[in-house]
Amino acid sequence: MDRYVVFGNPIGHSKSPAIHRLFAEQTGQELDYSARLAPLEDFAGNAREFFLQGHGANVTLPFKEDAYRLCDVLTPRAERAGAVNMLTKQADGTLRGDNTDGTGLVRDLTINAGLNLEGKRILLLGAGGAVRGVIESLLEQKPVSLVVANRTVDKAELLAQIFADMGPIAASGFDWLEEPVDVIINATSASLAGDLPPISASLIQPGVTVCYDMMYGKEPTPFCLWAEEHGAALALDGFGMLVEQAAVAFAYWRGVQPDSAPVLAQLREEIAKG
């Protein structure tokens, strides 16, 4: 049976095995998909060991940039992002790296939430691997502006330079921002610690601005609660993004496109029940 895995540290909370199990049941595929705790000091060695027999892997925090460095071949979007969340062992034994985060995010926003991002003012919070993986896909939606804001402005400026040829992207510090935007995407790790990014509530235009947190949990994240408190039109968590990026990987690995909607609905119900 073909073996797949998701690498992370921590990893016990991962819903990826459940997502791929449901995709497999839905499409009549036989596969083994598990979660694997990789050591912080030796992701590469752990991954190489898995791929002696394994076929594919998803990669989550904090290993996406380690996975990038491990690859023999990179898709153009992964190469530009400098981060990989999907590894595939090819027929010749080489490792192919891709980044499906941006596709997953855009599919969640446009298909599941029904948003049109063209002509919108988008604010992206953070400048780490999660941000690098979604900029290209967001710019492909033709927003009027995409601002990357980060505590360390130099990191945001570097990303603005890397992606400058793809669309209207700019860098900012958190405290430079005051004017309302249409979409705020939180890609910082603040929610993991129960904190908020240090941004002003003036960025939310009540009834208009959509707020999206890449993190998710049984309860609304602090960022989503903050968004609701200040009148955001929608406050969305990142679970849909997780399911959608998994669907992209599953389709590549197995050659069949799963239907994300019923899987997303079932797992959200299970999360709510605890």
- Would you name the residues annotated as active-site residues? 64
Residue linked to tokens 């299970």: 270
Q: For residue 15, give every residue at least 6 positions away whose Cβ sits within 8 Å of its Cβ, in sequence order, or none.
A: 239, 242, 267, 271
Task: Report d(CA 170, CA 252) in Å as an integer.
Answer: 33
Task: Report d(CA 110, CA 123) in Å as an integer.
Answer: 16
Residue linked to tokens 């990987």: 249
